[in-house]
Structure 1
Amino acid sequence: MFQSDIHRPNSDTTNGRLSWLAISRRPLRSLGWRRLIIGGRLSDAGRLPRYVAVFLLGASALWAPIAGYLATAPLQYTSHASLILPGSGASASVNLNNIGQASSYANSAFSNGSISPTETYKRLISADRILTAAAKEMGVSNDVFGKPRVTLVDQTSLIHITMKAGTPELSRDHADALLAAFFDEIDALRADEIATRETSGQSAIAEYTTAVAEIRETITQLQKRSGLLTAAQYTEQVAAHERLREQLLRLEAEASERDEAVNALEAALGLPPQTAATTLKLFADRQYLALTEDIARHAALLAQAQASFGPRHPNYISASDAFEGARQAALSHAAEVTGLDEASLAGLDRAPQGERASLLSGLVKEHTARKGLRQRVATLRQQVAGEKARLAALAPLAAELEDKQRDFKVAEAVFASAIARSESTKTDVYASYPLVQVLEDPSLPEAPSSPRRKLSIAAGLAATLLLIGGLAIAWIRQSILSRLLVKPETGDDA
């Protein structure tokens, strides 16, 4: 191929036959391929221009695009920002006495192994509507605004964001606009979620309201029919009825005691209570007592006359008439005082004095007390019977009222709990979209991130060194191949 590269036997090659001697005996048309593969001697300087030309061509092919890239690529500055998702959950519980309980619990953002909030937020940051909102905020198009590079740091809850622009301030502003659009979108999603939950809960709350109103109306009708405000009121009335029955039993026992006392006094005095009362009334009259004294005095005179004179003696007759007049006057006055006839007056006690007067007075008192007690017993017995009948009629109404009031309490508790849950969901804003915070504000880059001049030059130098190394290997390939192709001598050749 090249005449100066025709291989000549090396006089220093001894101890064996070279395989290239066999190759040298081939026709000249295959000699170009042989020299292309084998090369020339190390001391053959005639090959140097060709190697220099190849180096220059290769170096030009390497450095031309690098130089063009460094000369034409615009400067790009990269702003860095970091977000963090706190991993702990939050819970709250409110217990309202006689109303209900409301609880809210926000799970940790990382409690569900099948859903990664960092991956969700990574996709959301790169969403088109967030980029569009950020670009609109900056007053540029989406193409000019660019797309962020979002990376997740392994084994952490960090989200790292980088944003490129033509100037340091613009890259930082683009990152700020991106974060602002991201947080606005998160707030909008949370508000939409709360609104959706609240709307879905309104129908249930409306049903609970209707149920509470219906039960309340039923309770009102029962209260009007029964006259009871609460079921406890019926229980109190039953207890009052029992107390009334106990009082009736006590009064009946007391009335029995009064009967025994009156009967005992009647037996002792031999008089009924009415006669004893009349006797006491009569002997309490002063005029009657005076008349009885006259009777006693005339009775004494009559006794004297009877002892001294005969029945026809004028003194006896005069004494007898005086006695009879006094007796008739006393009987007339007694009838006037007591309202009794003469025959009835004959049964009155004639000596209501001393202890007998006390017994008569006791009999009258016991009789009067017994009469009043019997009247109380009769009245109370009638009252107990009426109350028993009324309570028997109220029993089913009270039971129904108690059931309805229990249903009302349950419905009211469910209604209050539903409202409390509806209100508590407004505070649980991190249920579906966990809390995210800015750990590192967008930075202001001090140096451009691209084009990376040092890296480009280092890559060009490395490629140039590789080219030089390749040409050096090509220069010495004959020596390498000669050693590989020469067969070692056997013992017989020696």
Structure 2
Amino acid sequence: MPLLPRSFVPALVRSPLRGLTFARILRGGRLADAGRLPRYLGLFAIGAVCIWTPITTYLSTAPLRYTSGLSLILPGSGASASVNLDRIGQASSFASSPYAHSSVSPTETYKRLLAAERILDAAADSMAMPTRTFGQPRIELVDQTGLIHVSITGTSPEDAKARGDALLSAFFSEVEALRTDELNMRETGAGEAIGDYREAVLATRSEISRLQRETGLISAAQFEALVAENDTLALRVQDMSATLADKSEAVATLTAALRTTPRLASAALKLHADTAFTALVEEMSDQAALLSRKSSKFGENHPEVRAARDGHATAQSAALARARAITGLGHDALAALDISHVGNRAALLSDLVTLDAERAGLAAELAETDARLRAARTRQMALIDPAARLEDLQRDFAVAEAVFASAIARTQTNKADLFASYPLVQVLEDPSLPTDPSSPRRKLAMAAGVAATIFMLIGFSLGWMRRPLIDRLITPAHASEAQMVPAE
């Protein structure tokens, strides 16, 4: 280092920085050198001013701010409801737990919603202040719970609490508006679907009505009843045919046995029920007996025989005339009619007439029933395709009606499901009324100033004793180098 002129030596001796060189600045002085103390005190004073001046200025000029806190909670359970509608179906609604899906967090949703600009604007408008002045709330989520803690600052305790109330009111109003908008959108979409379902029901109903008017077939059950009736008629025709065969056989047997017909048997019974005809028959019988006696005594041309023959002919003519008048039979039929006394044959003739009447009635009934059966079978064959079509249409109508009714019921039950997308949220803690200001934090500022001062003292202390530390670090290094030099 070059030597200083002699004229500068008195100045160095008198200067407080006497002996201050670059090497000394780096290595420092001795620990017992009190001459360094003024320099350290000056630097410490400058550092203290730099630390405490901003702190003091902040504490004296910063406005007081108060923080109001509130807490919200989301219940974790879901809700479900089921309604059974008679002859329509079942309508059910289910609101799952807000934590059922790991991909969606309702607390995060509400956290973002609480900080949304439109909610802050609404809260600020309710307090008649700009949104910038209202401030941004601080929102914290508590892990593993459904708690949301919100804090907001104000210029006074009452102002902070009022801002919390305004934020809470705006939040619930927005959640309610979102729920209402969701329900309206759902109802609009469901209304379009319900309109389509209604058109399907009306179209199917119109097709069913047209088919019913064209065919006269009201329902598939009516076709089934027609088939059952045809089967019953077919069985009845079979039974009646068997009965008619029995009756016809009985009539034929009696006709052969009595050698007469049911018509003649009826006429005979009718004649012998007439007293005048009975008297004429008795007279004819008497004349026949007289003719038989006379013929046995006299010849054919004997006057008494001819008289008896004429009497018998007269009585027979009178009886035939009476029979013709009563029965209305012709000459040929009367010739075949046995007009003699029926005697014990009356019961058989009566049975023949009765059986013949029953056979005739049964034959007429069988013919009518058979005609009905043929007509019913013809109608049945004509209604097979319409009945199948009607059954398909009625099934489609039942399905469309059930879908339509279920859609309406589901729409109505969805109105009760208010918490599907936006779960229920409740106020766990109302906005608090703070008692102490949250800003400026005087204790924290003072603690920071004290800590900075302590750290500065520690730094100056290390600077004061840096020379012994440096010498201790350097001396072992020189000793090691000396040991490494080889002896000559």
TM-score of the pair, normalised by structure 2: 0.87
1:93 equivalent in structure 2: 82
Alignment partner, residue 20 of structure 1: none
Measure how far apart 1:174 and its partner are: 0.6
Matches within 5 A, 1:124-143: 124-143=113-132
Give the superposition deviation at 1:149.
0.3
Tell me if structure 2 keeps the 8 A contact 1:226–1:398: no
Q: CA offset at residue 301 of structure 1?
A: 4.9
How far apart in 1 are the matches of 2:35 and 2:173? 74
Deviation at 1:187, TM superposition (A): 1.3
How much has 1:453 moved relative to structure 2?
A: 1.4
Aligned mates of 1:226, 1:374 — CA distance in 2 = 33
Question: CA distance change for structure 1 residues 230 and 313 in 2, over 3 Å: closer, same or farther?
Answer: closer
- Identify the range of structure 1 (296-305 vs 251-260) with the bigger mean alpha-carbon deviation: 296-305
Alignment partner for residue 153 of structure 1, among 139, 142, 148?
142
Q: Secondary structure at the match of 1:78?
A: strand
Question: Cα offset for 1:111?
Answer: 2.7
Which of the residues 31, 48, 56 maps onto 1:67?
Answer: 56
Amino acid at match of 2:144: Q
Q: Deviations over 1:376-433 (max 9, x none)?
A: 1111222222222222222222222222222222222332233333333333332222
Matched residue, 2:197: 208
Q: 1:19 aligns to what?
A: none
The equivalent residue for 1:13 is none
Distance 2:301 2:91 in 1: 120
Name the residue aligned to 2:42.
53
Unaligned runs of 5+ in 1: 7-27
2:251 match: 262
Per the alignment, residue 342 of structure 2 pairs with 352
Question: Is the partner of 2:167 in helix, strand or coil?
Answer: helix
In structure 1, give the amino acid aligned to 2:123. A
Partner of 2:388: 399
CA contact (8 A) 2:272 2:341 kept: no
Per the TM alignment, residue 256 of structure 1 is displaced from its structure 2 partner at its CA by 0.7
**Separation (CA, whole Å) in 2 of partners of 1:244 and 1:126:** 84
Name the CA shift for 1:99/1:326 in 2 (closer, same or farther; >3 Å): same
Q: State yes or no: 1:365 paired with 2:354.
A: yes
DSSP-derived class of the 2:431 partner: coil
Question: 2:167 corresponds to which residue?
Answer: 178
Deviates more, 1:142-151 or 1:203-212: 203-212
Q: CA separation of 1:4/1:98 partners in 2, compared to 1, >3 Å: closer, same or farther?
A: farther
In structure 1, the residue matched to 2:420 is 431
Distance 1:140 1:44 in 2: 65
Letter of the aligned partner of 1:127 in structure 2? A
Partner of 1:40: 29
CA distance in 2, matches of 1:235, 1:329: 66
Q: CA deviation at 1:339?
A: 2.4
Q: Deviations over 1:18-67 (max 9, x none)?
A: xxxxxxxxxx99x6123223333333333333332222222222111111
Distance 1:99 1:41, change over 3 A: same
SS in 2 for 1:448: coil
Partner AA of 1:153 in structure 2: V
Aligned-residue offset at 1:132 = 0.6
Counterparts of 2:255 and 2:62, CA distance in 1: 140
Match of 2:6 in 1: none
Change (3 A) 1:150 1:306: same
Provide the C-alpha distance between the structure 2 equivalents of 1:345 and 1:187, rounded to a whole number of angstroms.
110
Displacement after TM superposition at 1:161 (Å): 0.5
| Aligned-partner residue type, residue 112 of structure 1 | H
TM-aligned CA deviation for residue 303 of structure 1: 5.3
Inter-partner Cα distance in structure 2 for 1:324 and 1:92: 109
Q: CA offsets per residue over residues 306-352 of structure 1, 9 Å max, x none?
A: 66777777766665554444333323222222223566434334342
Q: Does 1:226 align with 2:220?
A: no
Q: Which residue of 2 aligns with 1:11?
A: none
Moved more, 266-275 or 341-350: 341-350
Range with greater deviation from structure 2 (309-318 or 80-89)? 309-318
Q: Which residue does the alignment assign to 2:7?
A: none
Whole-angstrom CA distance in 1 between matches of 2:172 and 2:431: 14
Alignment partner for residue 448 of structure 2, among 446, 454, 459?
459
Q: 2:281 touches 2:341 (CA, 8 Å); kept in 1?
A: no
Kept after mapping to 2: 8 A contact 1:252/1:377: yes
Moved more, 137-146 or 196-205: 196-205
Q: Cα distance 1:335–1:183, how it changes in 2: closer, same or farther (>3 A)? A: same
Q: Secondary structure at the match of 2:21?
A: helix
CA distance in 1, matches of 2:196, 2:146: 43
Distance 1:2 1:298 in 2: 208
Q: How many residues align?
A: 469
Tell me the distance in 1 between the aligned counterparts of 2:72 and 2:13. Answer: 71
CA distance in 2, matches of 1:203, 1:403: 26
**Residue aligned with 1:438, SS:** strand
Which SS does the other structure have where 2:343 is aligned?
coil
Give the secondary-structure state (helix, strand or coil) at the position aligned to 2:423. Answer: coil
In structure 2, do the counterparts of structure 1 residues 374 and 141 end up closer, same or farther at CA, with 3 Å as the change threshold?
same
User: What amino acid is the match of 1:407?
Assistant: D
Query: Does residue 1:447 correspond to 2:436, yes or no?
Result: yes
Deviation at 1:164, TM superposition (A): 0.6
**More displaced stretch, 46-55 vs 275-284:** 46-55
The answer to whether the aligner puts 1:419 opposite 2:414 as a matched pair is: no
**For residue 339 of structure 1, what is the aligned residue in structure 2?**
328
Q: Secondary structure at the match of 1:427?
A: coil
Task: Provide the residue aligned with 2:5 in structure 1.
Answer: none
Query: Which residue identity does 2:261 align to in structure 1?
Result: P
In structure 2, distance between residues paired with 1:416 and 1:236: 30
Displacement after TM superposition at 1:238 (Å): 2.0
**CA–CA separation in structure 2 for the residues paired with 1:364 and 1:3:** 179
Q: Secondary structure at the match of 2:83?
A: strand
What is the rounded CA distance, in whole Å, between the counterparts of 1:54 and 1:420 in structure 2? Answer: 85
Deviation of 1:367 (Å): 0.6
Question: Is 1:198 matched with 2:163?
Answer: no
- Range moving further from structure 2, 90-99 or 403-412: 90-99
Q: Indicate if the aligned counterparts of 2:290 and 2:308 stay in contact, CA closer than 8 A.
A: yes
In 2: Cα distance, 1:307 partner to 1:414 partner: 108
What is the distance in 2 between the residues matched to 1:154 and 1:470? Answer: 42
CA distance 1:66–1:342, shift in 2 (3 Å): closer
CA distance 1:212–1:313, change in 2 (3 Å): closer
For the structure 1 residues 312 and 252, does the alpha-carbon distance in structure 2 shift closer, same or farther, using more than 3 Å as the test? closer
Structure 2 residue 248 is the aligned partner of structure 1 residue 288: no
